[in-house]
Amino acid sequence: MSPKDVSSGGTSRTGAFTPARIAVIVIAILSVVFIAENTGDVTVRLLIPLVTIPLYVALIVMFVAGMACGAYFFRRRPK
């Protein structure tokens, strides 16, 4: 038998739940819980105007902006 025919017998990290994916899921869940717990009104300065909005709206906007930036910068590039 050639070396290519022999399987390693070890576990592969190519499954759906890798440690990195589990960490991202945990962080996302904790972020959603944090957002849900903070519902008071806050005043936010948007360059010049002051806007009073619920804190959870500001947190959701920043969460989505962070996810969009992460998806843009860390997307898989074709080989």
Dist. CA 38–CA 43, nearest whole Å: 14
Residue 60 contacts by C-beta under 8 Å, 6 or more apart in sequence? Answer: 35
Dist. CA 55–CA 42, nearest whole Å: 6
pLDDT above 90 covers a percentage of the chain that reads: 15
pLDDT average, residue stretch 31-42:
87
Query: Which tokens in the block code for residue 14?
Result: 């190519």
Give 37-51 pLDDT, tens digit per residue. 888 999 988 888 999
Placement of tokens 């519902």 in the chain: 39
Q: Are 46 and 57 in contact (CB under 8 A)?
A: no
- Give the chain's mean pLDDT: 81
